[in-house]
Chains A and B, each alone.
Chain A
Amino acid sequence: MRERFELRGLVEGRAAGETLVVRGRLSFYGEVDPEKGILVDGRSIAGRILVMEGGRGSTVGPYILYALSRRRLAPSAIVVVEAEPILVAGAVMAAVPLAAGLPREVLKRLRDGCRAELESKPPKALLTIECSE
């Protein structure tokens, strides 16, 4: 099934890849290994379209996202329900396209490994997701 969502573009860019879903809020500091690009649960975020509730926590977070991008381990795009300034700062520093406004119910049912494409042109963004059965 192919779905399209009109979102709020916060950081510009275009990316395509597989979804990686984090149901809650993610703190890049402490919850992502900056040398390996993996989450504490072992999943890799490198090159994925990271879909989550939002970011949270420490002002050091942006530096981690920046470090990930320098090591080519950053997500290729980030899509959130709600964005806060710290996450926006990190996405700009890492040049990762970022969009907000994903409906919460979509986050709830979305799973890893779907095909996603984001085109972010602030203030707008377009997300398409295609999950195989």
Chain B
Amino acid sequence: MYLTREEERILAGEEGPSRQLAMKLIVRVGEALGAERLVKVSHVHVSGVSYSNIGDYGLEFIEALAASGRVAVYSTFNPAGFPLGGLEPPYAVPREYVNKQKKIIDTLIRMGFEPSGTCIPYTLREPRLGEHLAWGESSAVAVANTLYGARTNREGGPVALAAALVGRIYLWGLHLDHNRRPTKLVKVGASIRDVLTAGVLGYIVGSSFSGEVPYIEVNPLDKWQVVSLCAAAAASGNTAMCIIKGISPEDQGPPLGVEKVAVDRRDIEAAREEVETASIDEAELFFTGCPHHPEHVVNKILHVLERHGVSRLRRPIWVAIPGSAARSLRRAIAGLRERGVYILPGTCLVVSTLSRAGIKAIATDSVKTAFYMPRRHGIRVALSFLEDFVKKYGV
């Protein structure tokens, strides 16, 4: 692999043992993949920071890196296994787990990571067209490539950590023009008008065209519908990028000479039935925020409660938002809690200890959640809208 003089210096250990190890990791993995050189990245986002995922051994590695390493570029990290900001979670989290998780986060912050705790890093720093990134978190990767036209592969835990320390990643995969061209044409006959249905479409895209770059011809979608589609596709398949007609900055019109696939209303209905494993009557709570909601979701929820004259909920609503929003929303969070709305900053139910909480069924508007809950936590899932849940369980 070709290395610049500066990269050679880091590899030789002249910027300390942590950067040396990080550079070696990137170079060796890049060589194995056949990359010819490295590329500088402007934002690193690390997934695999939940104690449920990486355990003691992941913590051990992060601590060893932190002993002599600091980030070389703007770096953020994914949600943790329980809510951040000192709030008591609405489900039991073992004390030992809390301590270990805090240690992981403190170590990252000591290394210079932005105290982020979110799976929507694009709201903290908006990626630019053509910019190179090194991101973990499959949903964010798909959003970066699809919605922003920025370039990143799905980088696993240690590789993304290493990229944060040296500010570079191997020039390979979706960093290269020729891998970003659509390889399938998906014509959507059904109308996609909400995040839930967009998620169901994403589920179809991921499970049918894993590892492809599908071109999706669909009615205009808003940002959060695109996010929902990307998250579901990245969960049900290896999807790291789509081109969405009229939305993706790299859209150059429908591709020629690729396989065409039609998705109609019946396909959407069938996929929804496949993902949905419970009814709203069985749901013990409503969960929304996978991927995270930006913090202004709090106002939206207040409006919904007001519109239906609801002072309190008989079954709670849980809302996941970025960890960085915990402080500014402190008062609103306390007020909502009394009404049965639990704001959960900086956490993700997928990587939580929820399987030990004795919950059997939930409702959600997130297809990604509906995909993972039965697999990870043995929890069945109803697909519904927050507003319908408020109408049903509000008093």
Query: What 1/0 flags go to A45-75 for Cβ under 8 Å of B?
Result: 0000000000000011011101100100000
Please determine whether A60 and B61 come into contact, CB atoms closer than 8 angstroms.
no
Interface 9-mer from B151-159, B191-199, B232-240: B151-159
Stretch in B49-57, B118-126, B250-258 with 4+ CB within 8 Å of A: B49-57
Indicate whether A26 reaches chain B with its CB closer than 8 angstroms: no
A92 contacts B by Cβ under 8 Å: yes
Whether A88 lies near B158 (C-beta < 8 A) is: no
- Nearest-neighbour CB distance to chain A for B229, whole angstroms, equals 24
Answer whether A92 and B25 are a contact pair too, CB < 8 Å, given A62-B158, A83-B32, A122-B31: yes
> Are A60 and B55 interface neighbours, CB within 8 A?
yes
Residue of A34, A60, A89, A123 contacting most chain B CB atoms (<10 Å):
A89
**Chain A residues with CB under 8 A of B157:** 59-60, 62-63
A103 within 8 A of B: no
Check if A77 is an interface residue, CB within 8 A of chain B: no
B103 within 8 A of A: no
A89/B158 in contact, CB under 8 A: yes
Digitize B1-37: 1 where CB-to-A-CB distance is under 8 Å, 0 elsewhere.
Answer: 0000000000000000000010011001101110000
Chain A interface main SS type: helix
A63 vs B61: C-alpha distance in the bound complex, in angstroms? Answer: 7
A65, closest chain B residue (CB): B57
Given A60-B157, A63-B60, A63-B61, check contact A92 B54 (CB 8 Å). Answer: no
Question: Which of B24, B28, B32, B156 has the most CB atoms of chain A within a 10 A radius of its CB?
Answer: B32
**B25 adjacent to A34 (CB under 8 Å):** no
A63 proximity list for chain B (CB < 8 A): 54-55, 57-58, 60-61, 157-158
User: A-contacting residues of B (Cβ < 8 Å)?
Assistant: 21, 24-25, 28-29, 31-33, 48, 53-58, 60-61, 156-159
What are 6 residue pairs bridging A and B, where the CB atoms are less than 8 Å apart in the complex? A10-B31, A10-B32, A59-B48, A63-B58, A66-B61, A86-B156
The 10 A-B pairs of least Cβ separation, nearest first, read A59-B156, A67-B57, A63-B57, A63-B58, A88-B32, A92-B25, A85-B29, A88-B29, A62-B158, A92-B28
Which residues of A pack against B, CB within 8 Å?
10-11, 34, 59-60, 62-64, 66-67, 70, 83-86, 88-93, 100, 122-123
